[in-house]
Chains A and B, each alone.
Chain A
């Protein structure tokens, strides 16, 4: 919402400092995003009086003016002027040589038809103040020549952009903002008199229009009489019917339009707005259109009441019918687009067809145009959610729909309509022959909320005097009356957000200023919620992988579908991001490709995040998808950074690097799982005791440049309980010496290292403390298809020193078993 400083000044009757306004609103009401001075590009323009007008010696249409542009110029200056309206004795805006004009042009001294011109007398268009370029702009000011134009004429202004929260529709107009300023800075809000209208506008009360005719409540079932409001059966249930100045008004959809007012103004002259009105609208960034439309817009920005004026002559009937639209009914809106309505929308129609999408936009057919003489002026309250749904369905927003959606002041409508009528008749002529019609089948009054003063201190933590509470609430329009030990607070119609006691407490807090409250820490009771185990598990895993040389990535969990269980997004924003991930690796591979594209060859990334999938029975629509916290890592490139001692070429990481990291990750993420060779020997998998595969590691396919190293990846479920469990028990350090033996074995094809180690351990018994592979060999001396694998075996008895003989016996047993069970023999030689 953009407000004009000058407009606020007019309402408050006092000068304002734009920065102070911004600070005050930000600290008590709503944040101010920007304060933009307007017309600051006129800062070089001065007020000057023309003393004498002479003919230009070389041109008929030009004049030579002697201009008093103030002291310090060595007397009057000569200016060449082409405007027909220049007159001696009058005052005009004058741009001296060197002045920078709107658009950034610097005025230079130059000769015009042989005569040097010292500056320029300016038209409205040259100053960016309007379209008028027929002559120079005549000023009505007493300011001395040489005064800055901005100081002499009320042109300078500030646009203050307020970030109005969704619950504060009252801030969508100048009166509402002024009310907030008055509450904090002091002062009262009064609508400024309309130039040309008779005297100041009355500040309130329904009497000014000689009494509105209000339709009786439908519930009360008022008698229906011709030309008087009443109840009649419409096509969609009970309708409220009335007439004003020959126009029949039928409210058939009181749910969509709880209150509906119509005024008929006859005999207007549609023309450009007077200067002051056009200026007001321009000051908030609105383009002036014509006096009638501008008047309704003025009231919109002044009082937050959207109004709609349409041409009575174009209204068939003449009738105004407020009803639900019919499905597939069509209307061409003001923006020239044909819209198809639904039965969920409210339409304002004449006797035959829709003329307005209620609360959103009117049609081009019923628009006010130059020939319009008689106006139908609509002042309505439309149901906010109805407008919101309509706006979304049509993808059509307007200043009106924005306000109706947030809820306008149901009780302020008569005042707004009165203001609008006064304004229109002042700027466009015409007259109101009958008081407006007010269809309001179920009138409501201001809500009353009871406030306990002790409730204020209970929530705010400091004592606030009862009188202070009353003062603060009254300052923004609440009516406060003591009631027993409580306060009965009447909520003004413009504050639909205030519905319960706590809302009033907020009013007290913000009007006092949040900064006025102390901020000293007080003792607190510790909470009952244990620290989430999964967060601890994630931290441990992150630390381990970072220590192992991996960088943490954070990727977007959305992408193309990566499996049949993938969870689809119903309303994706891009065709590449249609599903939630079931695994983390595909996203990491995309990150690797991004790194390759940036010529990074050595890449080690990991991510810990959520994977989603529909499990049996939860295939969308019912229940939530399953979420698992997973950890994944990708690795490619050199095993370690190159060092000059070893030469430039460092070996690339291979499957064995991957296996190590996978075993470490599984050990931490899922300690109960075992790492085994995956089916089809594509890599490894982690399998729990129940046979569930919880992790996988192997080589990955990717869109790799030729210089890239092979890419590997691993992924495993991160069990939340992995970081908890029983504390580790201390194992006594050995005190007796080990006996070590190297064992080179010849393995026939198909025999795995893990099978050999299993047999070794089982057959050698408890004395075999550790067994490690340290070499593998294939070639001369080894039968084809066989391989030699060398093991380093450590024997130890924790209780005593081993004898060589015992070790030899254990080895004998092991070798026998290896030969019997696996056909494995000791390598000869």
Chain B
């Protein structure tokens, strides 16, 4: 009995060897201690039943406890070795880690989401509409005079009859005003089409984001405030903004919003053609004729609207020289912005 207990104690000393063992030594240790034939502890456990019944219990308990201790020590050290903690072995930790394929959203989508998100904070929800439209929604209801030079910038793809691919997201203004009562606060993302062949700065299809707010008592001040707030959130809080006159048939007064050039910070560079400003969006107060065309009382309701091009904004903000890069879908290009825009 005493011999057995002494053997157990002696064997316990060997627990200290476990954390020092490398892979091979650990396997040997396991065999030496717990091996089915000849393992030190196996032998002890086999000897227990031969003891006198009175001694059997204590010795058995001690032997089994030691067995658990060894098993736990072996398991713990095996995990350590497997995890390659590198303490015992000379791992080169500068070797590359194991990767998974990662994907990502298109830069233009990220810009669209960012813009919609900011306007969401300003109380605007998203509305959408069809890409094939009738002339009524694309032009007439928006107060485009027929056969007017204002149409020159709107060269359209026709699908037959008076159906065309929308040249702007503005038709959704009409659809929204026809369907929902004021107050209206929507942003309208979507693809639009112009009959422009591809070159560095033109594409026959591109993304646009329209915005529309209509309610009683909306003024030019609200219009400036909302778009200025957007610009300061989208660019930087200290970005300078200016509004200047422009012309759109569906807004009056009409305005163009410029922001301080993000490349040169307003001192003048090639990107902003030395003006210090970047043109960001066309906008204005909703023309009363548009409200009237949608059956609204233009004496009671006023509003503002704007439209901007996420492709163009992405190009100016991220220094992309050619719009075609945004359509080619080269994996190397897409991967550049997969992790975000900042």
Q: Are A458 and B330 in contact (CB under 8 A)?
A: no
B176 interface hit (Cβ, 8 Å):
yes
Q: Known contacts A532-B128, A624-B133: does B183 contact A526 (CB below 8 Å)?
A: yes
Q: Are A553 and B197 in contact (CB under 8 A)?
A: no
Query: What are 24 sample pairs from A and B whose C-beta atoms fall under 8 A apart?
Result: A165-B246, A462-B221, A502-B253, A509-B253, A522-B221, A524-B218, A525-B215, A527-B124, A527-B183, A529-B186, A532-B127, A545-B103, A548-B103, A551-B331, A553-B329, A554-B326, A557-B131, A558-B205, A577-B204, A591-B329, A602-B101, A620-B163, A641-B100, A643-B98
B335 interface hit (Cβ, 8 Å):
yes
Knowing that A570-B157, A570-B158, A609-B191 are A-B contacts, what are 8 other residue pairs whose CB atoms are under 8 Å apart, sorted by A's residue number?
A: A33-B273, A166-B247, A459-B302, A519-B241, A525-B215, A554-B207, A573-B204, A620-B159
A556 CB contacts on chain B under 8 angstroms: 203-205, 327
**Chain A residue with Cβ nearest B97:** A643
Residue numbers of B with Cβ under 8 A of A are: 95-96, 98-106, 108-109, 113, 116, 123-128, 130-134, 146-150, 152, 157-161, 163, 165, 176, 180-186, 189, 191, 195-197, 203-205, 207, 213, 215, 218-222, 224-226, 228-229, 241-247, 252-256, 273, 285, 287-288, 302, 326-332, 334-335, 338
Q: Are B224 and A517 in contact (CB under 8 A)?
A: yes
B103 CB contacts on chain A under 8 angstroms: 545-552, 604, 606
Expressed in whole angstroms, the minimum distance between the Cβ of A645 and any Cβ of chain B is: 7
- Kindly identify which residue among A405, A527, A610, A645 contacts B184, using a CB–CB cutoff of 8 Å: A527
Q: Are A624 and B130 in contact (CB under 8 A)?
A: yes
A612 interface hit (Cβ, 8 Å):
yes
**Chain B residue with Cβ nearest A569:** B157
A640 CB contacts on chain B under 8 angstroms: 99-101
- Kindly identify which residue among A33, A529, A551, A567 contacts B335, using a CB–CB cutoff of 8 Å: A551
A123 CB contacts on chain B under 8 angstroms: none
**Interface size class for chain A?**
35 or more
Chain A positions 555-614 with a Cβ under 8 Å from a chain B Cβ: 555-558, 567-574, 577, 580, 588, 591, 594-595, 598, 600, 602-606, 609-610, 612
A459 CB contacts on chain B under 8 angstroms: 219-220, 285, 302
Q: Are B106 and A571 in contact (CB under 8 A)?
A: no
Looking at the complex, which of A22-30, A663-671, A708-716 is the stretch in contact with chain B? A22-30
Interface 1/0s, chain A 677-703, versus B by CB < 8 A?
000000000000000000000000000
Q: Known contacts A532-B128, A643-B98: does B245 contact A598 (CB below 8 Å)?
A: no
Q: What CA separation (Å) do A640 and B99 show in the bound complex?
A: 7
Expressed in whole angstroms, the minimum distance between the Cβ of A704 and any Cβ of chain B is: 16
Chain A positions 639-675 with a Cβ under 8 Å from a chain B Cβ: 640-641, 643-645
Q: What CA separation (Å) do A640 and B103 show in the bound complex?
A: 12
Chain A positions 491-511 with a Cβ under 8 Å from a chain B Cβ: 497, 500, 502-503, 505-506, 509-510
Expressed in whole angstroms, the minimum distance between the Cβ of B111 and any Cβ of chain A is: 11
Q: What CA separation (Å) do A545 and B106 show in the bound complex?
A: 12
Expressed in whole angstroms, the minimum distance between the Cβ of B9 and any Cβ of chain A is: 38
Q: What CA separation (Å) do A239 and B134 show in the bound complex?
A: 40
Q: Are A524 and B185 in contact (CB under 8 A)?
A: yes
A546 CB contacts on chain B under 8 angstroms: 102-105, 338
Expressed in whole angstroms, the minimum distance between the Cβ of B303 and any Cβ of chain A is: 10
Q: Are B99 and A641 in contact (CB under 8 A)?
A: yes
Q: Are B95 and A644 in contact (CB under 8 A)?
A: yes
Residue numbers of A with Cβ under 8 A of B are: 26-31, 33-34, 165-168, 384-385, 388-389, 405-406, 458-462, 497, 500, 502-503, 505-506, 509-510, 514-515, 517-522, 524-532, 534-535, 539, 542, 545-558, 567-574, 577, 580, 588, 591, 594-595, 598, 600, 602-606, 609-610, 612, 620-625, 627, 640-641, 643-645
Expressed in whole angstroms, the minimum distance between the Cβ of A14 and any Cβ of chain B is: 24
Expressed in whole angstroms, the minimum distance between the Cβ of A334 and any Cβ of chain B is: 23
Q: What CA separation (Å) do A612 and B164 show in the bound complex?
A: 13
B329 CB contacts on chain A under 8 angstroms: 551, 553-555, 588, 591, 594-595, 605
Q: What CA separation (Å) do A620 and B158 show in the bound complex?
A: 10
Expressed in whole angstroms, the minimum distance between the Cβ of A743 and any Cβ of chain B is: 31
Q: Are A526 and B123 in contact (CB under 8 A)?
A: yes
Q: Are B244 and A621 in contact (CB under 8 A)?
A: no
A574 CB contacts on chain B under 8 angstroms: 197
A517 CB contacts on chain B under 8 angstroms: 220-221, 224, 243
Q: Known contacts A525-B183, A527-B124, A554-B108: does B101 contact A604 (CB below 8 Å)?
A: yes
A526 CB contacts on chain B under 8 angstroms: 123, 183, 185
Expressed in whole angstroms, the minimum distance between the Cβ of A454 and any Cβ of chain B is: 12
